[in-house]
Chains A and B, each alone.
Chain A
Amino acid sequence: MTLEVRDLRVEFPTRRGTLTALDGISIAIAPGEVLGVVGESGAGKSITGLAIIGLLEPPGRIAAGEVRLEGQRIDNLPPGEMRKLRGRKIGVIFQDPLTSLNPLYTIGRQLEETIVAHLPMAKRAARDRALALLGEVGIPAPAARYRHYPHQFSGGMRQRVVIALALAAEPRLLIADEPTTALDVSIQAQIIALLKRLAAERGAAVMLITHDMGVIAETAHRVAVMYAGRIVEVGGVREVIHAPKHPYTVGLMGSIPRIAAKRSRLVQIDGAMPRLNAIPPGCAFHPRCTRRFERCLHERPDLLPAGASRAACWLHAAA
C-alpha cells in the first residue's frame, strides 16, 4: 500500500472543550489507485487530506492513529522532514490554483525550483524536464508560456500548471482537494481526464477529495463517503453509486439531479449535517435518518460488511 491511515483522530482544542473533527478514519490506497473521498461541507474530507500531509492548522492536532507512506510512519515526523516529503513523495493540488502559485514568479521558474529542490538535477536538465511536464499537462506552446506569470493563464490552464508542479518530483501519493470545483464543466472534463491518465501512467496513489459524485464516478476506483468526521461507507465506485448501503449515501445519491432522468421531486434528506460541537450521541446521522431504531440513538456503529462494501450502519449488523 502506498498510503495507509489507521484510526486517525483529529482534535481541535477550544476554550469550550475539545472538538473532534475526525474520528476513526482508516484509509488505504494502492499504487495506481484513485480513492475518492466524498462528503458535504463540514464532513471532514479536507481535514483528512491536511492531516495526512501534516498541514493541519493549529490548534488542530492528530490525537490518535497513524499515517504511513510506503510503510514509513509520517504523522510524527518533525516539520522539516515533512516539508521535504511534501513535493518529493506527496504532491498536492488544491481547489484554487491561484493560492498554489506565486504571482511574482514565472511559472517556469516555479517549476524549475521545485524540480531542483527535490531531484538531483542541474538547472539545465530541470528546465528540460519542466518544459516536458508543461507539454504533458496539455499547455499549448510550452516554450512560449514558460516565461509567463500565473495571471496570464486562464483558470483551467493554471490548474494544469499546478498539476505539473505537483507531479514535478514524481510523487508516490497525490492528494487532490476539489481540483475541479472552481472550473467550468468543459474544463473540468479535461482536467479529470488528465489527472486520471497521469496517475495511471506513473503508478501514483491518488486521494481525490470532492463533493461532486459525478467527478468520483468518472475518476475513482473506490469511494469513501464521509459524514460528521467519520467514514460512513466505503466500497468500489460502482457498488457505492449503484447500490449504496448507508441511508446517508442512499439519500445523497437520490438528491443529485440527473439529466437523463427528470423526477417530479428529488429525494431530500431533511435537516443539515450537525456542527462539530453538537454531534448527536449514537450514530451521528440518526436525527435525519428515516430508518433509525433504538440502537442508533445510543450506540455508534463501526464499518460493518454490507454486500461488497462496508457501511457504518446498524441495519447491516449481523442478526
Chain B
Amino acid sequence: MPLLSLQGVSRDFDVSRPWLNRVLEHEPRRLLRAVDHVSLDIEKGETVGLVGESGCGKSTVARLIVGLYAPSEGRVEFRGRRLQMIFQDPYASLNPRWRVRDIVAEPIRFLGTAGKVQELLAQVGLSADDGDKYPHEFSGGQRQRISIARALAGEPDFLVCDEPTSALDVSVQAQILNLMSELQRRLGLTYLFISHNLAVVSQVADRVGVMYLGRIVELAPAAQLFSRPRHPYTRMLLDAVPDLAMSGRPRTPVRGEVPNPLAPPAGCTFHPRCPHADDRCRREVPAFSDGVACHAVAEGRIATAIEAARLE
C-alpha cells in the first residue's frame, strides 16, 4: 500500500469576472484547471520529485496533498501518521514577532514541549540558545532550518517540500539538501520534493514526475528520466538546462512558451511546441500509460534508442 495516493485529482479555480460584469456583458463563468487528472502513488521512505515550469500546477498539487485546497475531482488518500509542509520562502513563513522556540513548538504546543524544542533544533544543526532569538537574526539558510525543525515537531512521516531551496544561495542550498537527506535516513521520512530546478531534483529524488499545464506527462525513476527522457517536453526541459560541464553536447533549441492555461490548446497541450506533433496530437488528449502521456512515444514515432545513445 502506498503511503499517499492521488487518484485522478483535479482542481479548478474560478477566475470569472465579477457577477455584475458577467450579467451585463453576457460572459460565462471561467474556470482555470490548475491540476488535471493527476494520479500518483508515493511509497513509504521514497522521495518523489515533481518538476515543471511556473504555472504547471506543481504547487497546487502540494496544496491539495496537505489539504490547503480541496480537490474538485478525484481523491487524495494518505495512510500515514501525519504530514507537514516546508515552504519556499523562509522569510514569509516564519512569524517575525515570535521567538524561534515558540515557532518550533507551535505544532505541539498542547503536548508539553520543554525538552523537545532543544532536540528539534539540534536535529537541524542549530544550537539551543537559538531558541531565544527572533527570525530576523538568522540568515536564509538558518531560517529554512527553523522551518524544517517546525515541520518535524509533530513527528510527521511525510513531508511536502515546495521549492525548499529556491530562495537560497547554492552553497547554502547544498547544506539544506544534505540535511534533508540525513533526516530522511535517520527518521525514515517520505518526501514529495517540488522544484523547478532539474539538477536539484536529480540530486534528491528516487522517482520524478514532470508536469506540463496541470498534467503529469512523464513519471519515471530518476536515473532513467534524466538519462533516457521519453516525453518531448522532458527532453526539451533537459536540453534547456545550462551545460555546466561545458561538454558541448548537441542540443535542440527550445521553442515557444507555455500557453495561456485559460485557453489550453486542444489535444495534447504540448503540441504547439512539439517537434513530433501530428494530427492526432492536435485532436486527442494522450492517455497516461506506462509512465508517459504522449502519442508519439506510444506509436513508436520517437526513436528512444537513438536518443539514448546520443545522450550517453
Chain A residues engaging chain B, CB cutoff 8 angstroms? 40-41, 154, 156-157, 184-190, 192-193, 211-215, 217-218, 237-238, 241-242, 251-252, 254-260, 262-263, 265-270, 272-273
Q: Is the CB of A258 within 8 A of B244?
A: yes
Compute how far the CA of A217 lies from the CA of B199 in the bound complex, rounded to whole angstroms.
Answer: 15
CB contact between B257 and one of A41, A154, A263 (< 8 Å): that residue: A154
Identify 22 residue pairs between A and B in the complex whose beta-carbon atoms are under 8 Å apart, listed by A's number: A40-B172, A185-B198, A185-B237, A186-B257, A188-B240, A189-B253, A192-B242, A215-B242, A238-B246, A252-B171, A254-B174, A255-B171, A255-B173, A255-B174, A256-B244, A257-B174, A257-B200, A259-B198, A260-B245, A267-B174, A269-B171, A270-B175
Q: Is the CB of A218 within 8 A of B181?
A: no
Compute how far the CA of A187 lies from the CA of B242 in the bound complex, rounded to whole angstroms.
Answer: 12
Compute how far the CA of A268 lies from the CA of B237 in the bound complex, rounded to whole angstroms.
Answer: 27
Is B241 at the interface (CB under 8 A from chain A)?
yes
Apart from A241-B246, A272-B142: 14 A-B pairs, beta carbons within 8 A: A156-B257, A186-B236, A189-B239, A189-B242, A214-B244, A215-B242, A217-B242, A241-B244, A257-B174, A257-B203, A258-B199, A259-B199, A272-B139, A272-B141
**Given known A184-B53, A190-B253, A259-B198, contact A268–B174 (CB-CB < 8 A):** yes
A36 to chain B, nearest CB (A): 12
Going nearest first, the 7 A-B pairs with the smallest beta carbon separation are A214-B242, A255-B174, A257-B203, A40-B169, A266-B174, A184-B53, A189-B240
Residue ID in chain B nearest A260 by CB atoms: B245
Q: Is the CB of A185 within 8 A of B170?
A: no
B76 to chain A, nearest CB (A): 27
Q: Is the CB of B243 within 8 A of A187?
A: no
Is B134 at the interface (CB under 8 A from chain A)?
no
Q: Is the CB of B243 within 8 A of A217?
A: yes
Compute how far the CA of A212 lies from the CA of B223 in the bound complex, rounded to whole angstroms.
Answer: 24
Q: Is the CB of A190 within 8 A of B254?
A: yes
**Given known A255-B174, A265-B178, contact A212–B242 (CB-CB < 8 A):** yes
Chain B residues engaging chain A, CB cutoff 8 angstroms? 53-54, 139-142, 169-175, 177-178, 181, 196-200, 202-203, 222-223, 226, 236-246, 253-254, 257-258
Residue ID in chain A nearest B222 by CB atoms: A262
Q: Is the CB of A186 within 8 A of B244?
A: no
Residue ID in chain A nearest B179 by CB atoms: A268
A184 to chain B, nearest CB (A): 4
Compute how far the CA of A257 lies from the CA of B257 in the bound complex, rounded to whole angstroms.
Answer: 26
Most-contacted residue by chain A among B170, B199, B238 (CB, 10 A): B170
Compute how far the CA of A188 lies from the CA of B253 in the bound complex, rounded to whole angstroms.
Answer: 11
Compute how far the CA of A263 lies from the CA of B239 in the bound complex, rounded to whole angstroms.
Answer: 21
CB contact between B169 and one of A156, A187, A211, A263 (< 8 Å): that residue: A211
**Given known A41-B169, A186-B236, A256-B170, contact A213–B253 (CB-CB < 8 A):** no
Q: Is the CB of A252 within 8 A of B245?
A: no
Q: Is the CB of B257 within 8 A of A214?
A: no
Q: Is the CB of A186 within 8 A of B237?
A: yes
**Given known A265-B178, A272-B139, A272-B172, contact A184–B238 (CB-CB < 8 A):** no
Q: Is the CB of A193 within 8 A of B253?
A: yes
A261 to chain B, nearest CB (A): 9
Q: Is the CB of B172 within 8 A of A259?
A: no
A274 to chain B, nearest CB (A): 11
Compute how far the CA of A50 lies from the CA of B202 in the bound complex, rounded to whole angstroms.
Answer: 36
Compute how far the CA of A266 lies from the CA of B199 in the bound complex, rounded to whole angstroms.
Answer: 12
Compute how far the CA of A272 lies from the CA of B168 in the bound complex, rounded to whole angstroms.
Answer: 11
Residue ID in chain B nearest A40 by CB atoms: B169
A136 to chain B, nearest CB (A): 16
A259 to chain B, nearest CB (A): 5
Give every chain B residue within 8 A of A258 (Cβ-Cβ).
Answer: 199, 202, 244-245
Q: Is the CB of A266 within 8 A of B177?
A: yes
Residue ID in chain B nearest A261 by CB atoms: B245
Residue ID in chain B nearest A41 by CB atoms: B169
Give every chain B residue within 8 A of A190 (Cβ-Cβ).
Answer: 253-254
Q: Is the CB of B257 within 8 A of A187?
A: yes
Give every chain B residue within 8 A of A157 (Cβ-Cβ).
Answer: 257
Give every chain A residue within 8 A of B197 (Cβ-Cβ).
Answer: 257
Q: Is the CB of B243 within 8 A of A218?
A: yes
Give every chain B residue within 8 A of A257 (Cβ-Cβ).
Answer: 173-174, 177, 197, 199-200, 202-203
Residue ID in chain B nearest A269 by CB atoms: B171
B190 to chain A, nearest CB (A): 19
Residue ID in chain B nearest A43 by CB atoms: B169
Most-contacted residue by chain A among B172, B196, B236 (CB, 10 A): B172
Give every chain A residue within 8 A of B245 (Cβ-Cβ).
Answer: 217, 258, 260
Compute how far the CA of A257 lies from the CA of B203 in the bound complex, rounded to whole angstroms.
Answer: 6
Give every chain B residue within 8 A of A217 (Cβ-Cβ).
Answer: 242-246
CB contact between A185 and one of B177, B181, B196 (< 8 Å): that residue: B196
**Given known A241-B244, A272-B141, contact A259–B238 (CB-CB < 8 A):** yes
